[in-house]
Structure 1
Amino acid sequence: MSKRKADDSHMPIGESISQAQTLLRERLCHQRLPTRPEGVASQHKHLLELLKRTAVHGESNSVLIVGPRGSGKTMLLRCVLAELLTEADVQKTLLQVHLNGLLQTDDRIALKEITRQLSLENVVGDKVFGSFAENLAFLLEALKKGDRSSSRPVLFILDEFDLFAHHKNQTLLYNLLDVSQSAQTPVAVVGLTCRLDVLELLEKRVKSRFSHRQIHLLSSLTFSQYLQVVRAQLQLPDATFPDSKFCHDWNASVKALCEDKSVEEVLQRQFNSTKDFRSLHRLLMVSLCRVSASNPTIKPADLVDASRLFSADSKTNILHGLSILELCLIIAMKHLNDIYDREPFNLQMVYNEFKKFLQRKSHSMYNFDQPVVMKAFEHLQQLEVIRPVDVAATRAQREYQLVRLMLDHTQIMEALQKYPQCPTDIKQWADSAFA
C-alpha cells in the first residue's frame, strides 16, 4: 500500500482534481445514509419496532412522521428500511408501495401506481370494479400465496400525506387505513407530512381508523455539529484516494476553509435559514465547480460567491436588465406607494409622477412620449413586476387600470446600487423622501 502511495504521489494535478471532484460530486448528489441518524434514536427505535411487527409478525399498523422540511423524515424512514431489509426473510416477503401527494393527485392515479408497483397489471387485466375498495381488496388478495397466514406484508409510504386528505371523500386514505385496522392482510401505512394539524384535515370515518401514532422530528443540530458535517462532506478519504499528497493538502485546505471567518458567517446564515442538508449540498456543489488546475482548492471567496448566488433576489435581478425609462417608472411607483401607503395606482398616476421629475430637470434626456411610456409599462406587467388588482376588470382604458407594484423599497434600492452606470440624478430621485 505504502509503495503504491509513493508511486502515485506525483500524479498530474489535473487528474487528481478530476478524481476529487468526481468523488465529492457523487457524495453530494447521492448522499449516503448514516446507519443511525443523530439525535433521533428513540424515533428510530419506535419506527423500526412498528415496521418489524408488520414485516415479521404480520401485524397491521399505521403511523405519521411529522416534522418541518429538512428535519430528516425521509432519511429516518430510509435508515429504518435499510436496517429492516438486512433480515433475509423480510427482504424476500416485504412489498413496498411509494406514493407522493404531489404526483398521485387523485385516487384513480394512485390506484394505477399501486397496481404498477405491486406488478399486478396482468392480474387486473380488463376487470371492471364497482368501487375503489373492491379494486384494492382484489389487489391485496392477489398477493396471497394460498392461505391467509402466508399473505405478503405490504408497506404503503405516503409522502406529502396531507395532500391525500384533499382527495375526493378521502377514499384512498379510508381504504388503506381500514385494511390496516382489519386483520385480513398485514399492511403498514406510513405517512410523512410537514403539517402539525394534519389530523384535523381527516374526515371522522378516516380518523377513527387511524392508530393516532405520531413520530415528531425537530432538528436539534447545533452550529458546531453543522460545521463538522460540512468538513466531513468536503474531506477526501486518506486510505483510498490515489494521490496521497494531494489528499493531504486538500484536507488541510478544507480544515482552514471551515475555520475562516467569512465562511463561518456564510454557513451561519445558511444554518439560521434552513438546517436542510440538501440546501447545504447545493451550496457546496457550486463551490466545488470552481476548483480547477489554477485554483486547486475551494477558497473562502468561492463559498461566499456561491452563497450570494443562492441568496440573490430574482426580482432584483430582473431590474438589472431594464431600460432607464422602465427604471424611472418603477421609482415613480415607489414614490406613489410611499405617498398613498401602498394603495393601487394606474399608468396615468405613474406618468404624472414621472413628469414631476422631468420638470425639475433643465435637460430633457428622459423625455419620452406617452405611447412609449405605455409600452414600457406593459413590459413591466409582462415581467410581473406590476400586477393588475382585478384581472377581470379589462373594460377600463389601459392607462386607468389599477395595478400594484410587486417590489418593496429594499429590492428597488438594492437593484439601483447594482444597476450598471445608473445616472446619479435617478439615484437621487429614488433616495428623495418626496417625489
Structure 2
Amino acid sequence: MSKRRCKEPQVPVGASVDEELQVLRERLCREALPELPEGLEAQHKHLLELLRRTALHGESNSLLIVGPRGTGKTMLIKSVLKELLEEDLDQTLMQVHLNGLLQTDDKIALKEITRQLHLENVVGDKVFGSFAENLAFLLEALKKGDRSSSRPVLFLLDEFDLFVHHKNQTLLYNLFDVSQSAQAPVAVVGLTCRLDVLELLEKRVKSRFSHRQIHLFSGATFSDYVERAQRQLWLPATFPDQRFTREWNSSVKALCKDKSVVDVLQRHFNSSKDFRSLHMLLMLCLSRVSVDKPSIKAADVLEASRGLFSDSKANMLHGLSILELCLIISMKHLNHLYHGEPFNLQMVHNEFKKFLQRKSSSLYHFEQPVVLKAFEHLQQLELIRPLDGSGAHTQREFQLMRLLLDTSQIMEALQKYPQCPTDIKQWAMSAFG
C-alpha cells in the first residue's frame, strides 16, 4: 500500500491575500515599535530613570532629545513610555503631547493642554490675567486626594524648535519655570532636529532650562535599511496559510535582491534615512497587490517611488491652460535670450505674439486683459515671483519677475500635457535646444 501524504489545508487565495494585506498594513500603519537599536541603551536608561523619578517621587526635570530626522528620537521616547506602561507608572504620570507644527501659538497650545488634561469643565468661563496664571490653575487642579500632592505631568514637545518662535517664548518660559521651581511635579521633554536650538532660547528661558541633553546620531547603514524593508514585508510563521506564506516570503526575498529595487531603496536612503518614509513606500507597493496579482513586483516599487518623488510644480503645469503654458515657454525663451535676466509681462506678451505671427495656426490671438489674468494666475501658483525690491508701485505690466521652473520640469509637463498642439511643442523644443 502506498503511503498517503498529509496535504496542507487549502485556503482560498483571495482569503489569504486579504489576511496578508491586513497583517502588513497594520504593521506599517500602526508602526509597532522595533527593538531598540544597538548603541541607544545608555540614552534609554537615562530617559527612563528621569521619567521614573518624576512619576514615583514627583521630581521635576527638563531635557532635550536632539538628532537628525530618522535617528530614533520618537522611537526612544515611545519605548520608554511603553516600559513605564509595563510598570503601571503611566497611571501616575499624566502625558501632554504638543507639536510645534500644530500648536502654532501659545493660545492654541494652552487649549490643547487643557483638553489633554481633561480640565475643560474645571476651567469653564474663568478669565485669567496671564498665561502663567492659567497654567498654574491647570496644574493646581491636578492635585489629588487631600490636595497635598499633585499628579505628575509629562509635557512632550515635538518639533521643539518651532515653539521658540512663539511670542516672548511664553510657553517654554512657564514650563521650564514650573519644572525648576518645583511648584508641581513636571517633566518637560523636547524633541528637535536643530543642534543649535539652545542658541535660539531667550536668556531668561535658557536660565530656567536644566541643560540636560540626549544626542542621537544616525548609525543606520544601507544594508540595515534593506533588511528593514524585507522584515516589514515578511509574513510571520503564525500566518494561517503556510503555503502562501512560503511563496510570499520567497517573492519578498527575491524582490529585495532585484537591482532596480535596490536602486530605488538606495535613492530613498540617500534622501532620508527616516523609516517612516520607507513605510510609506511599502504601503504604496501593497496597494497594488490583489487576488489577481498576489505579490509585489519590481515595477510596483518603481511606480510607488515615482509617486513619492513626483515634482509638485511639474504636476501643476499639467492643469494650466494653453495660454498659460505658452507664457511659461515665452519666459523660458527670454531667459535663454537674456541669460537669466528678469522679465516683465510686456516682454513675455511680445515674445508670445512673435510666436503667433511666425508659426502658430492653432491659437487665437488673446487680448491684453486675458493675458494679464493668465500671468497673475501663474504668480498665484508661485510658478513666477516678483523680483525683490522691484517696486510695489510699478505698473503691473512692467513689474520685473523671475521664473521658478527649470527646463526639465517644463519639458516633462509638455510630454504629459493632454492634446498639446504640435507647433507649441516644436516652439518649446527650440527654446530648450
So what's the TM-score if we normalise by structure 2? 0.88
Inter-partner Cα distance in structure 2 for 1:121 and 1:307: 45
**Aligned length in residues:** 427
- Alpha-carbon contact 1:388-1:401 (below 8 Å) kept: yes
Inter-partner Cα distance in structure 2 for 1:328 and 1:128: 58
Q: Tell me the equivalent position of 1:405.
A: 403
Q: How does 1:6-405 map onto structure 2 within 5 Å?
A: 9-88=9-88, 90-145=89-144, 150-239=149-238, 241-358=239-356, 360-361=358-359, 364-366=361-363, 368-371=365-368, 373-374=371-372, 376-389=374-387, 398-405=396-403
- TM-superposition CA deviations, 1:133-180 (whole Å, max 9, x none): 333333333333367874322211112222222223222222221221
- Alpha-carbon contact 1:51-1:188 (below 8 Å) kept: yes
Give 3-state SS (helix, strand or coil) of 1:259's partner.
coil
Inter-partner Cα distance in structure 1 for 2:410 and 2:126: 62
Inter-partner Cα distance in structure 1 for 2:279 and 2:55: 34
Inter-partner Cα distance in structure 1 for 2:248 and 2:432: 56
- TM-superposition CA deviations, 1:12-47 (whole Å, max 9, x none): 211111111111111111110124245422221221
Q: Which amino acid is 1:339 matched to?
A: L
Inter-partner Cα distance in structure 2 for 1:343 and 1:360: 24
Q: Quote how far apart the aligned CAs of 1:405 are.
A: 1.8
218-227 vs 130-139, which deviates more? Answer: 130-139
- TM-superposition CA deviations, 1:307-358 (whole Å, max 9, x none): 1111111221232344544333222201212233433322221122234445
Inter-partner Cα distance in structure 2 for 1:323 and 1:357: 17
Give 3-state SS (helix, strand or coil) of 2:113's partner.
helix
Inter-partner Cα distance in structure 2 for 1:421 and 1:148: 75
116-125 vs 212-221, which deviates more? Answer: 116-125
Give 3-state SS (helix, strand or coil) of 1:85's partner.
helix
378-387 vs 299-308, which deviates more? Answer: 378-387
108-117 vs 422-431, which deviates more? Answer: 422-431
Give 3-state SS (helix, strand or coil) of 2:182's partner.
coil
- TM-superposition CA deviations, 1:110-147 (whole Å, max 9, x none): 33332332233444444444433333333333333367
- Alpha-carbon contact 2:281-2:305 (below 8 Å) kept: yes
Q: Tell me the equivalent position of 2:3.
A: none
Inter-partner Cα distance in structure 2 for 1:117 and 1:31: 23
Give 3-state SS (helix, strand or coil) of 2:86's partner.
coil
258-267 vs 322-331, which deviates more? Answer: 322-331
Segments of structure 1 that go 5 or more residues without pairing to the other structure are: 1-5
- Alpha-carbon contact 1:63-1:190 (below 8 Å) kept: yes
Identity, % of aligned pairs?
73
134-143 vs 423-432, which deviates more? Answer: 423-432
Q: Quote how far apart the aligned CAs of 1:423 are.
A: 5.6
| Cα 1:109/1:351, change in 2 over 3 Å | closer
Q: Quote how far apart the aligned CAs of 1:92 are.
A: 3.1
404-413 vs 304-313, which deviates more? Answer: 404-413
Give 3-state SS (helix, strand or coil) of 1:56's partner.
helix
- TM-superposition CA deviations, 1:260-292 (whole Å, max 9, x none): 011111111011101112211111111111111
- Alpha-carbon contact 2:161-2:197 (below 8 Å) kept: yes
| Cα 1:369/1:128, change in 2 over 3 Å | closer
Inter-partner Cα distance in structure 2 for 1:267 and 1:140: 48
| Cα 1:45/1:347, change in 2 over 3 Å | same
